[in-house]
Amino acid sequence: MSFPLTGLKVLDLSRVLAGPFAGRMLSDLGADVVKLEPPEGDVSRHWGVKRSGISGYYHQQNAGKRNISVDLHHPKGVLIAKSLLAQADVLIENFRPDVMERLGLDYDTLAEINPRLIMLSISGFGSNNADSRRAAYAPIIHAETGLIARQADLTGAFPTELPLSVADTNAAMHGLVGLLAALYAREQSGRGDHVEISMVDATIVTNDGMHYALEGKKMGVANEVYETSGGLLMLAGEFRYVWKLLNSIYNVSDGLEEVQNVSLDEKIKARRAASKHFLTKTCRNRGEVINALDRMNIAWGDVRQASDVQKLASVEARTSIAEVDDRAGGKRLIPSSPYKYKHLESKVRAGAPHLGEHNEEVLKQWLGWSTEQISTVQSAFVNTTRE
């Protein structure tokens, strides 16, 4: 089986998550992804448990890539980058919108060097507007696009950050769609393109509840966690739907049939109590709870810790968590590629690289430079294979 992107050369200048995640997925699909880092390295090299000098966060987002460490503020560093980009198919960057131009690596300049180059730029607020220069990490975008307020409205709790970086990963995924579409178009036109993704745009378009806000409506609670004799279970469907099924299929009663002048709040309170009694007392064990939910055709899920996700049957069967070389003689767990094909292959192919590990190797393979030629730009390199 072959990888669908075998032979594709990708230079990844991005940092932390949105760009690196897009590059990681391209690597899983077979692309030769070279991550170019500054002398100080990506800040995420310090996040999470370190093994062989590589942190868990960096490992997850950069597995399978090769690495060169180049100072882009050094004239020879820019020379190295431009030389690599003359051979590259794809460039990924997630700096603020004016940084690449200041480095002399903006799309118009690079297109003159390599007209077939496809450049993916991911930023918080996009270019050419009053917000463009604002620092943008996922929590800021979550706040600005209404996700945090929506969560607070639904839970009644004080606004708090989401437990995952939705804005970053959504931007990465939409960036992947955009650049793969540009690669397809290049097959017909022979011309590259510049794909610009803002985290704000990606978050808005991926918010399936955005129509409520745009139409001036409040979104109700759609799904809830229930206490059951089989543990805490998330049930799909708002409470009115769950209650209707409990009442019609199992004759669960709120006991208020003969009571006059009952308020809506009193009805809801009584029905919630009756629902809890059915799921914790009438259904005496997990098997009975699951059988009842399945009979009512209510989708359910265990409220499990992420550390227990490998116990999920589908995760085990699909090898959703893979093992790769930990660069220290052992193995390290990592989320695997989500893409499953009948005739093609996709998988995480190696652990994450050390800073500057492939400096000479990449220049020799991509550019055909000799050891002597590489020595002339050595001052822009950082040769560090262990931190």
Q: pLDDT, tens digit, for every residue of 188-205?
A: 999 999 999 999 999 999
Task: Based on the fold, state whether residues 204 and 344 are members of the same structural domain.
Answer: yes
Q: What is the pLDDT of residue 20?
A: 97
Q: How far is the CA of 236 from the CAs of 24, 79, 141, 152, 296, in angstroms?
A: 32, 55, 27, 20, 12
What is the C-alpha to C-alpha distance for residues 380 and 382, in angstroms, rounded to an integer? 7
Task: Based on the fold, state whether residues 104 and 205 are members of the same structural domain.
Answer: yes
- Beginning with the edge strand found earlier in the chain, give each strand of the sheet holding 231-236 in spatial order: 223-228, 231-236, 300-302
How many other β-carbons are positioned within 10 Å of the β-carbon of residue 68? 27
Half-sphere exposure of 259 (CA within 13 A, CB side): 11
Q: What is the pLDDT of residue 145?
A: 95
Q: 369 in helix, strand or coil?
A: coil
Residue ending a domain, choose from 306, 329, 359: 306
Task: Based on the fold, state whether residues 179 and 266 are members of the same structural domain.
Answer: no
Q: Which residues contact 119 (CB under 8 A, 6 or more apart)?
A: 90, 91, 93, 107, 110, 192, 193, 194, 195
The mean pLDDT of 306-310, rounded to a whole number, is 93
With beta carbons less than 8 A apart as the criterion, state whether 52 and 203 touch. no
Q: What is the pLDDT of residue 209?
A: 87
Q: How far apart are the first and last CA of the chain?
A: 36
The region of weakest confidence among 5-19, 114-128, 147-161, 179-193 is 147-161
Task: Based on the fold, state whether residues 334 and 260 are members of the same structural domain.
Answer: no
pLDDT confidence tier of residue 386, bands split at 50, 70 and 90 = very low
Q: What is the pLDDT of residue 79?
A: 95
Q: Which residues contact 143 (CB under 8 A, 6 or more apart)?
A: 149, 159
Residues 70-95 have pLDDT tens digits of 999 999 999 999 999 999 999 999 99
The mean pLDDT of 147-157, rounded to a whole number, is 89
Catalytic residue among 12, 42, 168, 193: 168
**Is 218 a domain residue?**
no
Which residue has better confidence, 154 or 143?
A: 143
Residue ending a domain, choose from 261, 278, 306: 306
**Is 115 a domain residue?**
yes
Q: What is the pLDDT of residue 172?
A: 97
Q: Of 366, 341, 333, 372, nearest to 68 (Cα)?
A: 366
Alpha helices, DSSP H, located in 158-285: 166-189, 199-206, 210-214, 239-250, 264-277
Q: What is the pLDDT of residue 383?
A: 55
The domain total for the chain is 2
Q: 32 in helix, strand or coil?
A: strand
Task: Based on the fold, state whether residues 66 and 172 are members of the same structural domain.
Answer: yes
Q: What is the pLDDT of residue 221?
A: 66
Sign of CA dihedral 330, 332, 13, 71: negative
Q: What is the pLDDT of residue 327?
A: 84
Q: Which tokens sit at 206?
A: 């991926």
Task: Based on the fold, state whether residues 74 and 21 are members of the same structural domain.
Answer: yes
Residue 329 has pLDDT above 90, yes or no: no
**Is 1 a domain residue?**
no
**Is 260 a domain residue?**
yes
DSSP element (H, E) containing 101:
helix 99-102
Residue ending a domain, choose from 250, 275, 306: 306
Amino acid (one-letter) located at 32:
D
Q: How far is the CA of 144 from the CAs of 153, 203, 221, in angstroms?
A: 15, 10, 21
Mean pLDDT of the chain: 94
Residue 261 has pLDDT above 90, yes or no: no
Specify whether 168 is catalytic.
Answer: yes
What pairing do the DSSP bridges indicate for beta strands 300-302 and 231-236? antiparallel
Which residue has better confidence, 219 or 206?
A: 206
Task: Based on the fold, state whether residues 47 and 161 are members of the same structural domain.
Answer: yes
Quick one: what percent of the chain has pLDDT higher than 90?
87
pLDDT confidence tier of residue 387, bands split at 50, 70 and 90 = very low
Contacts 24+ apart (CB under 8 A), 223-226: 225/303, 226/275, 226/276, 226/279
Instruction: Tell me the residue range of the domain where 359 lies.
Output: 9-210+318-380
Task: Based on the fold, state whether residues 330 and 297 are members of the same structural domain.
Answer: no
Q: What is the pLDDT of residue 153?
A: 87
Instruction: Kindly tell me the burial class for residue 374, based on how many C-beta atoms sit within 10 Å of its own C-beta (0-12, 13-18, 19 or more).
Output: middle
Residues 8-17 have pLDDT tens digits of 999 999 999 9
Residue 154 has pLDDT above 90, yes or no: no
Residue 32 has pLDDT above 80, yes or no: yes
The mean pLDDT of 276-298, rounded to a whole number, is 97
